[in-house]
Structure 1
C-alpha cells in the first residue's frame, strides 16, 4: 500500500510539473501572437497619437514655443517663425478632422490599454465635434475687447520666454509677421460681413478702443520694457548685444507691430455698419446650431439645451433654499457681510503658500512646485481678466506664472478665492498634477474648456471654506462688533454665504447666456430677467448683456463645468455610500485629466 501511494504521489507531482511546463510553453508560443494583436495595437495607436501631436504643435512657432521649450530634443524641427493665417474657408480643416476620425476608428479599443482607450475616446469625440462645425465656420469671432486675439497677443508675446538664442530670433521674426496675420483676420471679417455675420458697431468700438490703448504711446509701450528685462534675465548676452537687440526690437515694434494694429483699426472701420445684429447668436442664420457646437467644443457637454436649462434652474433653486436657511438661522448674516467683514490683507504669494497647505485635507498631495506672481501692465488692465494662469511648456513644467490685474478692485476674500482658482487647487495644481501622470503628448494640446474652468470654479467652493479661519472683523465698527459677537455668526456661515452668492450670480449669467444666444432675448428681455433677481442698475445690465453677446458660452465653461463636477461627486457618494473618499475622488478626476464630460464620467465609473 505504501509503495502504491508513493507511486501515486510521484505520478501526481510529475503531472503537475508537466502541466506547468505546458503552460510556460503555451505562453511562449502565445507571446508573438499577443505582440502582433495586443501590444502592437497600443504601439500603433501611440505612434498615431504622437504624429497628431507633432503636426498640431508644429503649425506655428507660437504654439510650438508654448508647448515645448526645447523642441529639438523631441525630434521636432522649428517651422518658419510666423503667427500663421486665419483661413476664410474651413473645408480643408473639416476634411482633415474627418480623416483623423476615420483613422481613429480603425483602432480596436479592446486591444488598447485603459490609458490609450481614454485618449482614443477623447480624440474621437474631439475630431467629430470639430468636423460638425461645417458651414457655421463664419460665425466664429476671433476678435473681442478682452478675450479676442488682438487683446491676448501682446500678453502671449510678452511671456515668450528665451531659453536659447534661437528663441530671441524667433520672437523678433514673429513680430514682423503681425501685419500679415492681422490682414488674414481682416479677410475673415470681410467674409463674415459678406455673409451677414459681422459684429455690431458697439462691439467694433470696444475692440478699436482696446487696440488704440495698446498703440497710443509707442515710446513707452510695455513690450519694450519687458523685452529689455527678459534679455537681462537671459544672462547670456553682452551689454552691447543687448543694446543692439533692444534697438532692433524697438524698430520692429514701431514699424511692424503698432502699424499692424492701426491697419486693423482702419480695416474694421471700413466694415462699420455692416453688422446688423446687436444681439445673440440666435439672431443669425444657423446661430442656434453654432451655439450647440460651442456647448460641445468649449464646454464639453452633449445635452439638449432644454435639459441644460433645467439643471441650471435646479441649482439656482437649491442655492436659494440654502441661503434662505442660513438667513433663517442668522437673520443678520448679510448685514454683517456688508459691514466690511473681510480677510486681512495678505500678499498674493502668502495666500498661494497658505492654500498649498490647506488643500491637503481634501486633495491629493503633489511635490512642491515653484510659482511666480506677476502683475498686468497698466496699459492692459482695462481689457484683461482679474487674474489668469499661463501654463508652462510640457518639457520643463516651469515657469508657473499667475497674473494679477491690479486694475480690477476686489476684496481680500475675492483675492484669496481667485488665487485658489488660478493656483491651488485650481489651474496650476491641476496642470502640474496631470503632467506628472506622464500623459500622451497630444493631451497637452487637446483638452476641454469646461473641465479646465469648471474644475477651477469647483475648487473655489473649498477655498471659501478655507478662508473662514482667516476671516477678520477688525475693520468693522464697535457697534457691529458687539452685534456680531452677540449673534455669534460663525465665520464658516459668512464664507459659505459668500460662495452661494457667487454661485447664484454665475448661474444667473449662465441662464442669461442661453437666453441671449439660444432664445434670442433682446436687451429688454434680458433686463426683465435680471430685474427678477434684484439687478436693476441700467448701466450694469447693459454691460452684462454686451459681455455675454461678445463671449457666447464663456460663463458656461465655468459654471456648467462646475455643475458637472458637483454632479459627479454626488453620484459617486450615492454609489459608494460610506466607502466614498473625497480625496480619492479628486485623485481620479485629476489623473484622468481634461476631457469632455461624457468621457470623464465613463472613466470615473470604470474606476469603481
Structure 2
C-alpha cells in the first residue's frame, strides 16, 4: 500500500513525452522493486567488526534503503500525476498505484511552471546528495546515479527557460497532441469524460503557449518568420472538416469498443465530441495560426540556436538532454561524427569498387516482405538470433491519417502503459515523400527489435515504477537507430553485400544530418555553408541545402538523439568485440543494454566497463 506523501507536490519533469516519435551480482542486470521493503546489502562485514557493529551497519543500511525507496515512490507519484494526459498513457490502472487525481489536464507551458520546476529540481538535487550511497542496494545506486546525471544536465539549462520551443513543425506540441488524443484509450465511461474535458481545454492550453511565445518575442527570442510559417502550415492540417474527419472516426471506434453503453449514450457522447471539436479544437488551431501571424517580424535571428544571445549555451543543454552522451564536449562529438561518416563512406566506396554490380541494384531492390504485418512477424522471428526472446505481446499497425501526413514523422511508436505492455501502437506515414525510407527498416526501428521490443522488455523485466517513466531519448532513439542499421543485414531477401552497402550509406547519411545539426546550431553555419558542405556528398546540393538548413533550425539537437545514441552503442559493441574476441556474445551484449534500460550514456558507460570485466572473467 502506498504511503501518503504530505510534502508539497514536486514537478521535476523526469519524463518528457508519452510519444516515442534501466546490476546483477556485480552491477549487471535486474531492477529491484522500489516500492517493496528493500533487502539488506550483500556486502560482507570486515572481520574486525563485532556482531553489534554488524547489526548497526545492517540497521543503518535498511533505514537508508527505505528512505531512498520512499523518495522513489514520492517522485513517481508526483511525476505521473502531474497531468491527466500523461497519467492516462503511462498507467492503465492508476488506482492500482494509489493515484486518484491529477494536478492538471495537460502539463502547463509557462514561465511560472518552468521556474517552479527549476526550484523543485534544486530541492531534489540537495535531497540526492544527502544519501549514503554505500548503504543502498545496487539497484538503488543505479537509480541514484541516473537521477544525479539528469539533475546535472538540467542544471545546464538553468536561467534559459525562455529558449524552450514548445512549437515545431513535426515534433512540436501542436503536431503530436492530436495523435495522442486519437489514441486516448477508453477503458471506462470516465475516460470518455476525461478525454472530452481535455478536448474542451485545448484552446485554453494553446492560449497558454501563445502567451509563452509572446514572452519569448518580448525578450528577443522569437523564432524566425520562416520557422513561424512552418509551424503555421502544420497547424492548418488540423482545421478539420465538420462532420467527417479522423478525430470523429477514432472517437466512434473507441466508443463502440466500450461495453455497457446504450445507443442513446453513444449518440450523446458523439454529439459532445463533435461540439468540442467545433467549439474548442479547431478554434485552438485558429488561435495558434492567428497568434503566430501577429508575432511575425519579432524574430530576427535567421541562424540556428547560436544566433540568440545565450543560444550556444542553450544548445549545449539541448545536446546533453537529447543524447545523455559520455562525450565531454560538442567539439568531441563533431570529431567523432566526422570519423563515423568517413568510415562508412569508405565502406561504400570499397564495396562499389569491388562489386560494381551493386550500383545497378540500388535502383531496383526489394525486401522479401513488403506489408507491415508480414515485416513485423519476420523481424520478430529474426530477433531470436541475436536478441533475448521477448514475452508475448500484441501490437496494432495504423496509417497516419491522410490529412496529417505532411505534419508528422515517417513513423512513430506510442509507448505502452507501464502496467500493461500488451498495448502497442505503431503509426506509419504513407506519404510518397517518405518512399525513399524502406518500410522494412522503419518497422525495425519502431517495432522489433526497436522501440516496441525495447519498451516491452524493460516494462516486463524491471519492477521500479520510477525507472519505467524516466525518459532519455539518446538511449531510446539510439537503440532504435542502432537496430535499424542492423536490419539491413538480416535475412530479409536482400543480397548480403547490398545490405552491407545500404547499412553503411544509412549510417553516413544520418551522420551528415547530425553534423549539420551541430554546425548550424553550434558553429553558426548559414545556408551557403550548408550547401558547400553538402556538395562534398551530393551531386545536386542546391536542391536540398535550404530544406536541410531549415530543418536544423526548426529542430535543434533532434538528429543527435538518433545518431549519437547509436554511436555510443556501436562504440561499446566494438570495444567488447575487440577485447572479448571469439568469446563475444551478441545476445549477452544486447541483454546488458536492455536490462540497463532508459539511462544516460555517462551512467551506462561505467556499468559497461564492469560488464566487460565480468565477461572477460567468464562470469
Same fold (TM over 0.5): yes
Q: Which has the larger radius of gyration?
A: 1
Cα distance, 1:211 vs. partner?
Answer: 1.3
Residue in 2 aligned with 1:560? 564
Supply the distance in 1 between the matched residues of 2:464 and 2:107 (Cα, whole angstroms): 26
Residue in 1 aligned with 2:375? 351
Cα distance, 1:427 vs. partner?
Answer: 0.4
Contact (CA 8 Å) 1:84, 1:181: kept in 2 or not? no
Contact (CA 8 Å) 1:454, 1:559: kept in 2 or not? yes
Residue in 2 aligned with 1:592? 596
1:230-264, Cα deviation, whole Å (9 max, x unpaired): 10012331111100000011111111111111111
Supply the distance in 2 between the matched residues of 1:501 and 1:128 (Cα, whole angstroms): 35
- Find the partner of 1:455 among 479, 482, 502: 479
* Correspondence 1:54 to 2:77: yes
User: How does 1:334-483 map onto structure 2 within 5 Å?
Assistant: 334-338=359-363, 340-344=364-368, 346-410=370-434, 414-467=438-491, 469-471=492-494
1:237–1:466 Cα change, 3 Å: same
Contact (CA 8 Å) 1:98, 1:128: kept in 2 or not? no
Supply the distance in 2 between the matched residues of 1:93 and 1:368 (Cα, whole angstroms): 38
CA RMSD of aligned residues (A): 1.8
| Structure richer in helix, relative to its length | 1
Residue in 1 aligned with 2:549? 545
Contact (CA 8 Å) 1:162, 1:168: kept in 2 or not? yes
* Correspondence 1:67 to 2:90: yes
1:281–1:412 Cα change, 3 Å: closer
* Correspondence 1:578 to 2:582: yes
Contact (CA 8 Å) 2:82, 2:103: kept in 1 or not? no
SS of 1:458's equivalent in the other structure is helix
Cα distance, 1:184 vs. partner?
Answer: 1.0
1:170-229, Cα deviation, whole Å (9 max, x unpaired): 111111111221111011101110111111111111211221221142332310111011
Residue in 1 aligned with 2:106? 83
Contact (CA 8 Å) 1:298, 1:557: kept in 2 or not? yes
Contact (CA 8 Å) 1:215, 1:221: kept in 2 or not? no
SS of 2:427's equivalent in the other structure is strand
- Find the partner of 1:206 among 226, 230, 242: 230
1:437–1:133 Cα change, 3 Å: same
Query: Which residues of structure 1 form unaligned runs of 5+?
Result: 1-22, 472-490
Contact (CA 8 Å) 2:511, 2:563: kept in 1 or not? yes
The aligned length equals 563
Cα distance, 1:535 vs. partner?
Answer: 4.8
SS of 2:490's equivalent in the other structure is helix
Q: Normalized against structure 1, the TM-score is what? A: 0.89
1:320-376, Cα deviation, whole Å (9 max, x unpaired): 2211221221023222222x1222453211111111111111111122221111111
Supply the distance in 1 between the matched residues of 2:115 and 2:375 (Cα, whole angstroms): 48
* Correspondence 1:41 to 2:64: yes
1:27–1:404 Cα change, 3 Å: farther
Supply the distance in 2 between the matched residues of 1:254 and 1:534 (Cα, whole angstroms): 47
Supply the distance in 2 between the matched residues of 1:29 and 1:304 (Cα, whole angstroms): 49
Farther-moved stretch of structure 1 (398-407 vs 327-336) = 327-336
Cα distance, 1:50 vs. partner?
Answer: 1.2
Contact (CA 8 Å) 2:421, 2:460: kept in 1 or not? no
Residue in 2 aligned with 1:314? 339
Cα distance, 1:31 vs. partner?
Answer: 7.1
Residue in 2 aligned with 1:505? 509
Supply the distance in 1 between the matched residues of 2:288 and 2:516 (Cα, whole angstroms): 31
- Find the partner of 1:229 among 253, 258, 265: 253
Query: Which residues of structure 2 form unaligned runs of 5+?
Result: 1-45, 615-619
1:548-572, Cα deviation, whole Å (9 max, x unpaired): 1101111111011110000011122
Residue in 2 aligned with 1:602? 606
Contact (CA 8 Å) 2:312, 2:522: kept in 1 or not? yes
1:345–1:353 Cα change, 3 Å: closer
1:187–1:535 Cα change, 3 Å: farther
1:481-531, Cα deviation, whole Å (9 max, x unpaired): xxxxxxxxxx11101111111111111111111110000001011111111
Pick 1 or 2: higher relative contact order, CA cutoff 8 A, min separation 6.
2
